[in-house]
Structure 1
Amino acid sequence: MFQLSEHAQDFIERTKAFIKNEIEPVENEFWHDVHHLNTDGDWTKWQWPEQLEVLKDKAKQAGLWNMFLPDPVLGQGLSVQEYAHIAEISGRSLLAPTVFNCNAPDSGNMEVIWRYGTEQQKQQWLMPLLAGKIRSVFCMTEPDVASSDATNMQATAVVDGDEIVLNGRKWWSSGLGDPNAKIIIFMAHTPDETKDRHHQHSMVLVPVDTKGVNIERMLPVFGDYDAPHGHGEISFENVRVPVANFIGGAGQGFEIAQGRLGPGRIHHCMRCIGAAEKALELMIDRGMSRTAFGKEILKLGGNLERVADARVAIDQARLLTLYAAHKMDTLGNMAALTEISAIKVIAPSVLEKVVDMAMQIHGGAGLSKDTPLTGFFAQARSLRLADGPDEVHKGMIAKLELKKRGYGSRKK
């Protein structure tokens, strides 16, 4: 089922080699430079170290670029399941996805424009994103409503002649602090009494510098602003853009969101699995290099059982995620709804538990930036909310199980 083509295997091996030879030797110093460059808390001055462009150029030259996109011309022609293996490899590093131009939210935004955008939208925004010349932002979550139910959305996108008028406030808009962020995909309510509630939302392309777009602040995750990427709060006050900036047309927002989130969840989950593998390796190396009470730390208490538990959990999560990717490739996203929701629950949870074990073995060092563990932990805990909280996905799984037994929703 998970057999890989020679084409995919070549990319996997070359990705492994690139990370080992080009990224791992400089990653610690890179993040040290990031913290040094972005210490004053003023997001308007955030910047990336020059080393990033050097690494990105090397990745381009190596052909390890835009591997997430299945298009054989604009991307590398890899299936969802084939790219999943690469996402796992890149997930071992907090830097690698950006180096390969396969990082969130850009990869998801590029897929949206590639799948649903007009030719003009592709030329204006997709091509610069694919070239790595600009970055993008996705605005969906709102501060004043329970965003786990996207129909609660209060932001609006209303047609006025040949323009769309946007109003509302969004937050946790990832990538908003990036100095190269130039375009926003804004999801909002487009009221239409003739349509059902899942056809009254739209996605709109909004240049960051449009009048009325106000970046209010950056939001810290566990006290870290994730500079220079950032997660921001942003308001839209009577923002006007051309009607041509609708993606796929008014009222198509939910349909597009499902197309965006399916592959994106595979990417997120496989990166979680890669991070969990890295955390387990760090845990074992640390536990076998330190002694206490006359034994290696890893051999004290129940630590060896925790290693075994981590191995079992990681492998289970990987197999389920690859199965979801296989179903998406062969049967389509709708046929894989249960598996997509299941991996979104499982993979971040597995990463969170494995990182927690690794932190415990590392002692105080596990809470510092001397290892990637705190970054992995923030990633895991954030993903239990991002793209839908665990509870929503469990609700979807249960709903589909009841439907199999003939207990689908009935109108009263």
Structure 2
Amino acid sequence: MFRTKRMAAIAALTAIGGLTLAGCSGSSEEVAETVDPDEEVTLTFAFWGNDVRAALYEEAFAAFNEEYPNITIQSSFLDYPAFWEKRQTEAAGGGLPDVMQFDYSYLRQYSENGLLLDLAPYIGGVIDDEPLSDEILAIGEVADGTFGIPTSTNAWALFENPALLEEIGVDGFPGGTWEDYNAWMGDVTEAAAAAGVDAFGGGDYTGRIQNFEVQQRAKGEDLFTEEGEPNFTEEDLAAFWEQGAGVREDGTVVEQQRVEELTPLGAFDTALTASELTWDNFGAGYLANLGEGYETLDLVAPPTTDGASESDLYLKPSMLHAIASTTEHPEAAATLVDFLVNSPESGEIFGTNRGLPASTTALEAADLDAFSQKIADYEASIADRLGDAPPVPIVGYGTLEEKFRQIGTELNFGTITVDEAVDQFFSEMDVVLNS
């Protein structure tokens, strides 16, 4: 279903190149099929991003108003951390924007606290479900409701810098296990030193919880169950972090001090490392930061776990659109969500700025540039490794993800042992799950 439908669209493109609600939750039992064109409506809309994304949204709103001139949109944006700080403040006072760009990590937290409108009554009516597969729609489900519609998807990928690899004089990662990847990074670092190039094969990937997740999924286990309970042991986590011990200690990966000195940029988008494991929609930002001399990046599949790779990857919503449960104009808000997700205009305007469009209608209308086409090609290439998305992240997942990153930093600095790292993470997880 999902894979066939979505991959057919991608193939076609390839062929041509802790909160409390101060209000009440829920949705009306009777839902209008369309908005009243004679009713003057003002909707507030909030998103995270930059001036480039803001200009794209303004263009999309102008197209939306050609069809719905009675709906005025007042938009605002912030960077990602500030966006969620403001949402927390608004949630406590019952003043969330009508429509929001939304992150998967916060979907359970906000929906379970009654802050988001259940969109299920609008799906198949105001929100067209024909261009969205059941699997895509299921991403936004929490308990018995649907609280977000994915605008786009991305997948975990291994980025490579071909210009830097050419300068060093080595080929890209040919594929293989995580042990093979460690060995390849070592070869790149050694070749760079011999060529007089200040660069490394990569960074310490054990600082990202997503790499741990990929390895756990290769064993058929998501990180957390549907009930929000941890689905891994201390031994599992210790084994994962031990993988990085060798490359941390022998100089294969870039040392943490140099990474810290580059902040707010990273080692990959300053051409200090030749590879990086992350979500596939990060590429445009990397290229913008790398600048002149780096015209493109390559995407290849992440390493496999002992050759087992079936269902270890999945499509994640790079973002969703959600509606506040307190909105006074649910039909109008749902109409805007449908336009921003499904319309050909949204595909043409945004391209892959928000990730590869989740809607087949928007995807087919998107004019993909060469690099965006690489993303589409990449997601098509990993079809045999895609499994169902994991359960919606637990409340507090963002906190655990950041703690994982911080512990990874300390491991790279050598200030804690793996056993101490495991103890720290499980202690933090206990607090998050029982708060």
TM over 0.5: no
Higher relative contact order (CA 8 A, sep 6+): 2
Higher helix share: 1
